[in-house]
Amino acid sequence: MGIDYKPLNTTSLSQQVADNIREAIALGTLKPEDRLPSETELADRFQVSRPTIREALKRLAAQNLVRSQRGPTGGTFVTKPSPGELGESLTGAMTLLAGLGEFTLQEITTARHGLESLCCRLAAQHRGEEHLQEMQMEIGLQQHSKLSHEDFCASDVRLHRAIADATNNGVLKFVMYAVIESLQPVANLVSFRHRERGVIIDQHQRLLAAIEKQDPDLAESVIQEQVDYLHQQQLRAKSAIQAKKHS
């Protein structure tokens, strides 16, 4: 069994047990479908109580890293969380931090500059027809004059997810899903009163054309233009909110 039974200190014993088991999973010494020792055996090896072990296993189960199974062949088994499940967890954490003001507008803009530029360059090189069709569908939807601000923002998120999909890079898609789902809606809803939809749609159309022509330099130029434009609108929105508070 690949668990490193490290000596524990007196604080948060269940967390330490969970961390040790999680580390074994992350290092690959515990594989998906491996069966963990019984609660009694784990308690003996870690020199803690069984309730402490139960609490540690609950922590791991909440992260979809282990599951319990009843019956003669039951026990606690290592599971393999899906990228979607982990992505939702990361998105939730980033959304919470953004909502609490942990990230400045400049930090968000700088991060999006780097990440979205890379996405658009790779999308221009690797896009398939299905990605182009999805982008075109969203741009067509955005042109509906009666589309609500919320639906426009949702379409914007889907468009940028399609660009991330077109990169053909699993790591970048995983990271960008969290960035797009958490930071983009916050930024959009802050600035929607101060931006022109026509400007955004024009940028999206030019971005699609660049990706379709497989021109990474042009695609990067357009996305940088859009990120800069949105940043300026967010600054205007922030100034308007502050002015209203002091009026």
Whether the predicted pLDDT of 193 surpasses 60: no
pLDDT at 1: 55
- The kind and range of the H/E element at 213 are none
Average of pLDDT values for 147-165? Answer: 91
By CB atoms closer than 10 A (0-12, 13-18, 19+), residue 146 is: exposed
Domain topology for 83-245: Four Helix Bundle (Hemerythrin (Met), subunit A) (1.20.120)
Average of pLDDT values for 172-187? Answer: 80
Contact between residue 160 and residue 116 where contact means Cβ atoms under 8 Å apart:
yes
Looking at the domain that runs over 13-78, which CATH code has it been given?
Answer: 1.10.10.10
Residue range(s) occupied by CATH 1.20.120.530 in the chain: 83-245
Residue range(s) occupied by CATH 1.10.10.10 in the chain: 13-78
- Higher pLDDT among residues 239 and 185, named by residue: 239
Residue range 9-27, pLDDT digits in tens? 656 899 999 999 999 988 8
- Which pTM was predicted? 0.71
What are the phi and psi torsion angles at 78 (to 5°)?
-75, 135
Longest C-alpha distance within the chain, in Å? 71
Contact between residue 224 and residue 113 where contact means Cβ atoms under 8 Å apart:
yes
pLDDT at 242: 75
Residue range 77-104, pLDDT digits in tens? 999 877 777 777 778 888 888 778 888 8
Of 97, 86, 89, which Cα lies nearest the Cα of 171? 86
- The kind and range of the H/E element at 70 are none
Lowest mean pLDDT among 82-86, 121-125, 206-210: 82-86
